[in-house]
A = this chain, B = another copy of it.
Amino acid sequence: MRDIRAIAVLTSGGDSPGMNPAIRGIVRSALNRGIQVYGVQRGFAGLIQNDLELLTSASVSNIVQRGGTLLKSARSLEFRQAEFRQKAAEQLAERGIEALFVIGGDGSLSGAHLFEAETGIPVIGLPGTIDNDIFGTDDTIGFDTAVNTALDAIDKIRDTADSHERHFLVEVMGRNSGFLATHVGIAAGAEMIIVPEHPVDIAALSEQLALNRNSGQGSSGIIVVAEGNEAGLTYRLAEQLKQHGQSPHVCILGHIQRGGIPSGHDRVLASCLGAVSVEYLLAGYSDILVGVQQGEVTDIPLDNLLRYRKGLDPELLRIALQLHR
C-alpha cells in the first residue's frame, strides 16, 4: 500500500457530461483516506500556470447533476513542449503533490502518459469523452448522455419528418469513429447509419431508401451520419442523394451533444471510476487508464492507447442491419 499525502486532478480536452461526478468520486474517496486533493483549473494549461487550489468535501457537493466541468477545460499548446511539462512537475512537487489524475479523451491521456514517462510523477487516467473511442475500455464518461441527447433531438426531428414525409440526414459527432452514430442509429430506429469506418455507397443508399418507401414503411425516415474527418460530409451526402432523386433535409446536432445533465448511467460510471481510481493509486498502480471491460472496472496501461485503435463492434452493426428493414 502506497502512502500518499496529496494528489491533483484535472479535466482536459472537450468537456463531457459526467466529468463533475468523476471529480467528486476522486475527491470524496481520497478525503475519506486522509489524502488532500488539489483541483487544477483549465487542464494542462492550469498545471503549467500553477493554478491549483485545495478541494474540500463541500467543494464537490451538489455537482453530481451538473454538465460540463467545474475545473474547466482547455487545450494547451505549451504542454506539448518538454520544458513546460518539466515546470509543471516541479510545481506539483513543491506542493507535495504525489500523483496526477487526468479525466479526458485519447489525446489528453496520451499527454498524461508522456508526463509520467518524463517526470516520474504517477498518473492515473479516467476516460472522459462522448466519443467512446478510447482503446481498452468498453465505456467512457459522457457517451451514454450524448446518445440520449442525440436521441432527444432526433425524436423531435422525427415529428417533422413524419408530418412532411421527408427524410432527414442527422449528423452526430464522431470524427474518427462511429460508436456514437451506431448506438444513436439503432436506438433511433434509423433507416441507415453512416460511419467513418465504412465507405458510403450512395447508389445503394438511395436504392434502399426507395425500397423502404415502397415497402409500406412510410416515406419518412432518419439517416444517422457520423461527422467524419472532412467538414461538410453530410451536406455533400444530401447533394448526392438529390442527384438520385431523393430530397433529404440536413440537421447538424453540433455542440448540444457535449453538454447537458449527465445521465444516471454516466453518473454511476463516473462516481465508481473516480472512487476506485484512488484505490488503484494506493495499490501501487500508475500510468494506467481506469476503465471498464465486460462490465467490470479494470486498469489499462496508458501505453496501449498510443499503440492500438478501438474498432466498432461488428455484432452491433450486423444487428442494426436486421432492424431497419
Chain A residues within 8 Å of B, Cβ to Cβ: 11, 14-15, 17, 19, 21, 24-25, 28-29, 32, 42, 56-58, 61-62, 64-69, 72-74, 138, 144, 147-151, 153, 155-160, 162-165, 168, 183-184, 186-189, 215-218, 249, 251-252, 254-261, 263-265, 267-268, 271-272, 275-276, 293-296, 316, 319, 322-325
Q: List residues of chain B with CB within 8 A of the CB of A158.
A: 62, 65, 68, 259
Question: Which 6 A-B pairs rank lowest in CB-CB distance, beginning with the nearest?
Answer: A159-B259, A67-B159, A68-B159, A156-B259, A147-B264, A294-B294
Given contacts A61-B218, A271-B186, A322-B275, contact A72 B164 (CB under 8 A): yes
Shortest Cβ distance from residue A67 to the other chain B in the assembled complex, whole angstroms: 3
Complex: chain B residue closest to A264, CB-CB:
B147
A-B contact sample (9 more), CB < 8 A, given A28-B324, A32-B325, A72-B163? A73-B164, A138-B295, A144-B264, A156-B256, A160-B259, A186-B272, A263-B263, A271-B323, A275-B323
- Whether B57 and A260, one on each chain, are in contact in the complex, defined by CB atoms closer than 8 angstroms, is no
- Copies of this chain present in the complex amount to 4
Give Cα distance in the complex from A66 to B162, angstroms. 12
CB of A80 to closest CB in B, whole Å: 18
Known A-B contacts A189-B62, A252-B254, A254-B251; A73 and B323 likewise in contact (beta carbons under 8 Å): no
